[in-house]
Amino acid sequence: MSPSSSQPTVKRRVTGISRKQLVLEVEQKRDKCPETNISPTPTQPEEPMIIDEHESKLSNKQRQMLSRALNAQDATVLAFIMKEHCKNVVAALRKLLIRDIRITSAKLCKRSNGSVLYGNDYDSLKEFSFDKIWLEFKSNYPFLIELMNAVAGEVEDIEDITKSLRIKLSFVYSILMNERWHELNMVKRVNTVLVIDGGCTKQVQIQ
């Protein structure tokens, strides 16, 4: 269909396994392995991606620009053309990146072989280390670290991030993961222990 067509916009719903089937599979896994299954909250099936076919169509001008960029055989040139002249392609890529982050986050929400932020016993608190959190963060969300690093105005290379900034970014990561699933509360529990052992007697309420 031509982008200039007067036909109404057609939306295609991309589906694989139905929502009902996904919920059924999660329930079956929970019944078989209650100690290793994924928590009900973080495993809610993702909403199917809605694609607007009218907006996803490339115009003739966009196709010509992309063709010339491909002939140049330079990824930077291609990326620049897409950013400046193919906003719909950039938007589609952004949605895919966000979807990948959601899937990765859901996989980490398990009571066994999940995130290092899960742990409710003494041994898990005793072995607490921000280095472990940073390794998990860096392994699963390198692009998110680059974004946070850019906001902080620091170096672009992940390996060059200073120790102090790694701890800060890991702390932010732990807050977000705890928001996703309340049982990923390792850092919160450690802070509670430090506050109690430190003799804190007053609670300050921030409004």
Dump pLDDT digits (tens) for 142-193: 999 999 999 998 776 899 899 999 999 999 999 999 999 999 999 988 877 7
Joined together, the tokens standing for residue 28 give 């079956």
DSSP letters for 78-108 = HHHHHHHH-HHHHHHHHHHHHHHHHHHHHHH
Residues above pLDDT 90, as percent of the chain = 35
Residue 147 vs residues 44, 124, 187: alpha-carbon distances, Å: 26, 30, 22
Does the reported pTM lie above 0.85?
Answer: no
More confident residue, 197 or 183: 183
Q: Which two tokens stand for residue 200?
A: 């804190």
Residue 6 pLDDT: 44
Q: What is the pLDDT of residues 55-84, one digit of tens each?
A: 668 888 888 888 888 888 788 888 888 888
pLDDT for residue 188: 87
Secondary structure element (H or E) that encloses residue 115, with its range: none
User: Across the chain, what does the average pLDDT equal?
Assistant: 76
The whole-angstrom separation of Cα 101 and Cα 134 is 16
The pLDDT assigned to 5 comes to: 41
Residues 31, 12: Cα–Cα separation, whole Å? 35
